[in-house]
Amino acid sequence: MNLGSDSSARNNYALAMLRIGVGIFFLIFGQYKVFGTAFTLHGGFQFWINKFLEGGTYPFMAPILRGFVLPHATSIAFLVAYGELAIGIALALGILVRSASFCGLIFMLTMLFSSDYPGPRAAFWQYFGASLSHSVFALCFVAFLMGRADSAWSVKAQWKNRAGASGNENQ
C-alpha cells in the first residue's frame, strides 16, 4: 500500500484505521455480553445501573435510570449487548458506518450522563477528565459521521472497486 502524498487518501486510510479499531473494541464489548448470560440474564446490567446510581450519574439521569431503565433492565440489557455487537460489526467491516456511528454516539452520550458524573463540587475540568472513557468514543463517532470513514478498507469500498473493475472489463 503506497499512500504517497495524496492527503485525501492518507486521511481516508487514517479514518478507516480508527474506524476499524473502534469497531474491534465494540466487538469485544458486545461479544461477551451476547455470548454469555451474566450481563443480560444474571444481573450484570442491573449491577452497573445500581453502581451508577450510587455515585456516578448526573442528577437528571437518576429518575430515568430508576423509573425506566431498571424496570426494563433485561430488555435494555439485550439492546445494549446486541447494539454494541452490531456497532462493532458495522464499523469493523465498513458497512452502514453512518448509521452505526449515530447509534454509537447516542449510546456514548447516554453512558456519559449515566456514569461519568464527578460530583457537584468538582472543578469544571474534572467533568472532562471523568468522561474520557466515553467522550473519546463519542468524538470518534462524530468523526465517522462527518467524514467518509467507509471509503477505505471496507466492504462498501470493495463493492465499489469490484463494480468499477467489472464495468471496465465490459467496455
pLDDT digits (tens, 9 = 90+) for 131-147: 999 999 999 999 999 99
Query: What SS3 class is residue 114?
Result: helix
- If one counts every other C-beta atom within 10 angstroms of the C-beta of residue 116, the result is 20
At residue 166, the pLDDT reads: 65
**Which uninterrupted H or E stretch holds 104?**
helix 97-115
Question: Confidence band (pLDDT; 50, 70, 90) for 171?
Answer: low
**pTM, to two decimals:** 0.89
At residue 168, the pLDDT reads: 57
What one-character DSSP code corresponds to residue 55?
H
Q: Compute the average pLDDT of residues 21-26.
A: 98
At residue 113, the pLDDT reads: 94
**Which uninterrupted H or E stretch holds 49?**
helix 44-55
At residue 160, the pLDDT reads: 79
Residue-by-residue DSSP string for 126-163: HHHHHTHHHHHHHHHHHHHHHTTTTSSSSHHHHHHHHH
